[in-house]
């Protein structure tokens, strides 16, 4: 069964930079551990921010990644960014940067939810938490 982790940012953070930076750090950690990551970013501005930041968030290196929608070539990078269901090769870890639970979330081993510091974003995160909890998914919370 899918495990769901909530990463809680401090209140008053700057959306979407806080969530995007956290997503990049989580991508880095997962990819370094050999995990394939899918960053679900249905908002074009957030998707562009993740794409851009993965090139530069860590001095001296970048995280290899591609965006769904463009023709993908083998071997696929460890990180894919998109707004639809990813290829079968990327069902290990999903980072959800959307406001809702993606319909295909249960095909992943782990789902990472980032709880932004903004009040409206936190309310949507509580709805997602309740959704997962009510369906019996294993939940963990991490205060950042």
Q: Domains of the chain: which residue ranges? A: 3-143
CA separation for the pair 14, 80 (Å, rounded) = 24
Per residue of the chain (144 residues), what is the pLDDT tens digit?
999 999 999 876 555 568 999 999 999 999 999 999 999 999 999 999 999 999 888 777 788 899 998 778 888 899 999 999 998 889 999 999 999 999 999 999 999 999 988 888 899 999 999 999 999 999 999 998
Burial (CB count <10 Å: 0-12, 13-18, 19+), residue 34: exposed
| Architecture (CATH level 2) of domain 3-143 | 3-Layer(aba) Sandwich (3.40)
Give the residue carrying structure tokens 């562009």.
48
**What pTM did the predictor assign?**
0.92
Nearest to 109 by CA among 78, 137, 74: 137
- For 117, the token pair is 């510091």
Tokens linked to 122: 């936190």
């Amino acid at each position: 069964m899918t495990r769901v982790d909530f990463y809680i940012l401090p209140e008053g953070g700057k959306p979407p930079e806080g969530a995007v930076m956290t997503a990049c750090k989580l991508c880095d950690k997962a990819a370094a551990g050999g995990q394939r990551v899918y960053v679900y970013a249905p908002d074009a501005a957030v998707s562009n921010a993740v794409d851009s930041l993965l090139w530069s968030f860590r001095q001296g290196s970048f995280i290899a990644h591609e965006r769904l929608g463009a023709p993908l070539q083998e071997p696929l990078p460890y990180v894919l960014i998109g707004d639809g269901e990813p290829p079968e090769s990327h069902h290990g870890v999903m980072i959800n940067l959307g406001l809702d639970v993606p319909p295909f979330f249960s095909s992943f081993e782990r789902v990472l939810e980032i709880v932004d510091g903004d009040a409206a974003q936190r309310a949507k995160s509580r709805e997602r938490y309740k959704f997962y909890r009510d369906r019996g998914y294993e939940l963990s919370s991490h205060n950042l």
